[in-house]
Structures are given as structure tokens and as C-alpha cells.
């Protein structure tokens, strides 16, 4: 069955960087895009952007341009999200979700990032 | 950006009751390709979101048929015909017609 398994919780200090992984299984990784969605504590869902898993081209929503990088390890069917120069407002759960024609029909379990001095 | 306004923000229902959630868009979600990219998700407490409905009215895989979606243009509705205990959580609509993709603010379904 289709599965997206994300990396574990992270505790970071302001100014540090973090890398979150999303490993896909049960389908051909490069046939479907990967989306990233942010959920701050107690808040709703916010779309961060997506990455074309065939070409590697990322597209970022305006609020996520600059410190956020989507990347791939296609040979490992893995999509990554890296956040640099962490700020308190980056404290959130980050979800990966499968894209393409079956947009967001499968989600990772979420990766919690806490930024605190 | 397209704004999706969900009402109500909180919904309290008894088991077996039928309920509806509204999602209104600030722009038409009808795409030039003829599709309307409007989706519904349920996020149960402590879980990741689950897609219920795609392209306005199509039931996702494994989703019970007590869920149904309808609407066109800027007005959309999710209906639950006979709420069950497992339906509690927060419901979100999402549009993918216009970039950036945007979500509604959510409707919390509570079971009385």
C-alpha cells in the first residue's frame, strides 16, 4: 500500500537548520509530485509548495521563499525539506503529501519541529 | 490568493444526525480545462489529514458513502448523512485551481 514515512521530531535553537525527510513506498516515486504543508500548533493547514519528483524542480509559495528548500533523493524514493536560520515561528508540524492527479491522496504522519532557545 | 471561507467554524452533532459544511471561494474554482479543483479533508485529533472528496464530488478511496460533496463555481458543500463517532475532527476544504493552493480555516465537528 502507499505509504509516506517522515522523520522524527526535532528540537532546534533559533538560527540552526533542520532537514525533514519523507520516504515513499508502494508506488513509483517519480510518477507523482510531492507537496509540503505546514501546521502551526493549534492552527490550520498552509501549503508551502511542491516539488516535481521527475525533474527535481521545486515551486515555493511566497511565504516560503528563501529559507526553505525542497530536494530529492530519487534513488531512495525520498523527498526532503530543509529549513535554515530557524525562527520561533517555524515551530510546527510539517506534512508531506502525494501530488499529481491524485493530489494529496496520501499524507505522511507529520514531522514536528520545535524552535526554542 | 484565493480565500476559502468555511462555515460554521464549529459544528456539534449527535450520532446519526446529518450535517453540512459550507466552503465559499473568493474566485470561481472552475479551471479552463473544465475541472473544478476543490477537495475536502478530515483531520482527526492527533492524525494527519485524510482526503475525503476530490474534484468537488468524487469520493476518495475507502471513504464511507455517508460523505458527499457538491457545488460549483464559488459555493461548495460537504454533507455527512448520519454522523458516526469516528467522524469527529476538523474538516478542511482546499482549492488547487489557482496558485498558490489554499485551504479553508477549518470546521471542527464535535459529537454531542
pLDDT tens string for chain B (112 positions)? 999 999 999 999 999 999 999 999 999 999 999 999 999 999 999 999 999 999 999 999 999 999 999 999 999 999 999 999 999 999 999 999 999 999 999 999 999 8
Measured between beta carbons, the chain A residues lying within 8 angstroms of B91 are none
CB A108, CB B48: distance < 8 Å: yes
- Assign A74 a pLDDT band (cuts: 50, 70, 90): confident
Residue A1 pLDDT: 94
Is the pLDDT reported for residue A98 higher than 90? yes
In chain B, the DSSP E strands lie at 4-7, 10-13, 19-25, 38-43, 50-54, 58-59, 67-72, 75-80, 89-95, 102-103, 107-111
Mean pLDDT of chain A: 96
- Assign A100 a pLDDT band (cuts: 50, 70, 90): confident
Contact B48 A103 (CB under 8 A): no
| Residue of chain A nearest B59, judged by CA positions | A105
Measured between beta carbons, the chain B residues lying within 8 angstroms of A103 are 37, 39, 54, 96
Measured between beta carbons, the chain A residues lying within 8 angstroms of B43 are 45
pLDDT in tens, A14-34: 999 999 999 999 999 999 999
Residue A101 pLDDT: 75
Residue A11 pLDDT: 98
User: Comparing C-alpha atoms, which of A44, A32, A3, A47 is closest to residue A98?
Assistant: A32
Amino acid at each position: 500500500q502507499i505509504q509516506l514515512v517522515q522523520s522524527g521530531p526535532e528540537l532546534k535553537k533559533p538560527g540552526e537548520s533542520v532537514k525533514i525527510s519523507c520516504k515513499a513506498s508502494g508506488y513509483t516515486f517519480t510518477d507523482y509530485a510531492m507537496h509540503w504543508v505546514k501546521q502551526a500548533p493549534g492552527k490550520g493547514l498552509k501549503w508551502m509548495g511542491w516539488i516535481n519528483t521527475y525533474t527535481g524542480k521545486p515551486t515555493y509559495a511566497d511565504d516560503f521563499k528563501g529559507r526553505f528548500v525542497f530536494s530529492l533523493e530519487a534513488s531512495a524514493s525520498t523527498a526532503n525539506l530543509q529549513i535554515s536560520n530557524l525562527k520561533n515561528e517555524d515551530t510546527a508540524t510539517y506534512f508531506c503529501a502525494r501530488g499529481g492527479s491524485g493530489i494529496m491522496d496520501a499524507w505522511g504522519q507529520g514531522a514536528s519541529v520545535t524552535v526554542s532557545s | 490568493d484565493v480565500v476559502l471561507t468555511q462555515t460554521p467554524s464549529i459544528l456539534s452533532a449527535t450520532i446519526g444526525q446529518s450535517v453540512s459544511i459550507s466552503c465559499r471561494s473568493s474566485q470561481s474554482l472552475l479551471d479552463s480545462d473544465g475541472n473544478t479543483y476543490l477537495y475536502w479533508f478530515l483531520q482527526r485529533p492527533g492524525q494527519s489529514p485524510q482526503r475525503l472528496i476530490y474534484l468537488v464530488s468524487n469520493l476518495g478511496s475507502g471513504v464511507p458513502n455517508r460523505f458527499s460533496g457538491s457545488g460549483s463555481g464559488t459555493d461548495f458543500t460537504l454533507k455527512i448523512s448520519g454522523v458516526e463517532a469516528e467522524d469527529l475532527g476538523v474538516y478542511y476544504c482546499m482549492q488547487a485551481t489557482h496558485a498558490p493552493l489554499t485551504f479553508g480555516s477549518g470546521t471542527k465537528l464535535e459529537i454531542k
